[in-house]
Amino acid sequence: MLKLYDNPASPFCRKVRVLLHEAGRADEVELAFSVGHPLAPERMPVEENPLGKIPCLVREEGPALYDSRVICRYLDERFGAGLYPADRIWEVLTLEATADGIMDAAVLMVYEARCRPGEMRYAPWVEAQWEKIARTLDALEGRRMDHLHRPLDIGQIALGCALGYLDFRHGGRNWREGRARLSDWFAEFSPRPAMQATIPTG
């Protein structure tokens, strides 16, 4: 049986779990709760992933897989989920990478508050991370909406998880302001059973 090192608060882990639910295979993967951060790597699966990051997927036929993009691609092929359509693969992969970039910046903002002593926190650096997110959301609002209304793919899943994480950890920033089309898409996407089954907690 596959084993996924996971945390319900992580948007990267959520992306993997959404894929499993969309594929109807969530019950075929054991979830192993993991908690930690760069200053506490001993609480992460460092034997399987020396980077000390999750998600991390342990499989019987080979070494563990890590990085959510690698894991999702593997699971999509294994379970035939069809979330990487060949006829628009580069667009899909780019949207997935864009959403992952939003997650990266949003998680770094959390780490700045959680891992650094108050006197060492650097507010301009935090705002620079948010500016990356805001700039990217504006680009999605202006140039990517056609893609978001096509048949389900991993890029849409990744973006749904990224926007959900902004609500979860950065709700006071109000990412929806000035982005009505993106907000409407997320309102339509969020009720999917796979999204409802993986709402972040913690």
Q: Please state the rounded mean pLDDT for residues 13-35.
A: 96
Tokens standing for 158? 């990744």
Contact 108, 129 (CB under 8 A): yes
Looking at residue 12, its pLDDT comes to 98
Lowest mean pLDDT among 14-23, 37-46, 122-131, 148-157: 37-46
- Give the model confidence (pLDDT) of 64-88 as tens digits: 999 999 999 999 999 999 999 999 9
Looking at residue 120, its pLDDT comes to 81
- Give the model confidence (pLDDT) of 157-192 as tens digits: 999 999 999 999 999 999 999 999 999 999 999 999
- Give the model confidence (pLDDT) of 85-101 as tens digits: 999 999 999 999 999 99
Rounded distance, CA 62 to CA 78, Å?
14
Task: Write out the H or E segment, with its range, that includes residue 67.
Answer: none
The amino acid at residue 94 is T
Please, what are the domains in the chain? Answer: 2-79 (3.40.30.10), 86-192 (1.20.1050.10)
Rounded distance, CA 102 to CA 42, Å?
26
Rounded distance, CA 153 to CA 146, Å?
13
Q: What is the pTM of this model?
A: 0.95
Average pLDDT over the chain, rounded to whole?
94
Contact 38, 115 (CB under 8 A): yes
3-state secondary structure of 56: strand
CA-only gyration radius of the chain, Å: 17
Contact 48, 58 (CB under 8 A): yes
